């Protein structure tokens, strides 16, 4: 279930994602968008979606 550590981790991920999205110059998006589409088409594979977004933010 939920724990403080899990919520803290989710908040940290959200901060990283928002920071990456607010930059003037961002990493290329074509590959990450393709991975998001493929993951969502694969039975809404949300863990794969979050992994792709996390990798893009790095």
27 by DSSP, 3-state: which?
Answer: coil
How many other CB atoms are found less than 10 A from the CB of residue 32? 17
Residue 43 is given by DSSP the state: T
Task: Render pLDDT for 4-53 as a digit per residue (tens, 0 to 9).
Answer: 999 999 999 999 999 999 999 988 899 999 999 999 999 999 999 999 99
Instruction: For the chain, give the number of residues.
Output: 58
Domain 4-57 is found in CATH 1.10.3210.10: no
Task: Give the model's confidence band at 1: pLDDT under 50 very low, under 70 low, under 90 confident, else very high.
Answer: confident
């Amino acid at each position: 279930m939920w724990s403080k550590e899990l919520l803290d981790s989710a908040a940290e991920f959200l901060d990283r994602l928002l920071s990456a999205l607010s930059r003037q110059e961002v990493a290329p998006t074509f590959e990450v968008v393709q991975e998001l589409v493929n993951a969502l088409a694969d039975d809404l594979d949300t863990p794969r979606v979050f992994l792709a977004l996390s990798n893009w933010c790095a």
